[in-house]
Amino acid sequence: MAEQKNPFDMSEMMKLFDPNRYMEQMNQMLKQYQMPQMDTKALMEAQRKNVEAMVAANRTLFESTEALMKRQSELVKEAMEEVNKNTEKLSRSEAGDLPSHQVELIGAMYERMSANMREISESMRAAQESSMQKLDERFRESLKELKEISEKSKS
């Protein structure tokens, strides 16, 4: 039976973002369609920087995702420990006090879960913002570079 690849293998996915692979493709394309009056070295350098920015942004998201997954597993472990601790507390409660203890525990668990969700949401937002900031900076630099290249080709 043929060996199946893991569709969630991040190392395989990251190979798609290899800047060297992309630059080779760009070089072949530019050689095939020689563009007169354009500084192909400057264009290639600009594209290399674009690819590096994309790789850096993807790396940031990938690392943030790893950290987020680790934090989520920690939160699940903490929640399970809390459930065990609360189950012991409830088992030692008097029958008349049980409903009030249950309400208190549910309230405390809700507050903790809500805080955890805010933490995770903020972490995700910060990672996305960081990646977009890198891409935005590179986009603005790229526009300046392309403008300079086009002005040089006019002269």
Q: How do residues 100-127 score in pLDDT, each as one tens digit?
A: 888 988 899 899 999 999 999 999 999 8
Using a pLDDT cut of 70, give the percent of the chain over it: 81
For residue 1, pLDDT over 60 is answered with no
Range scoring the smallest mean pLDDT among 5-9, 81-85, 133-137: 5-9
Does residue 33 or residue 101 have the better pLDDT? Answer: 101
Contacts of 145 (CB under 8 A, 6+ apart): 42, 45, 46, 49
> How much is the mean pLDDT over the chain?
83
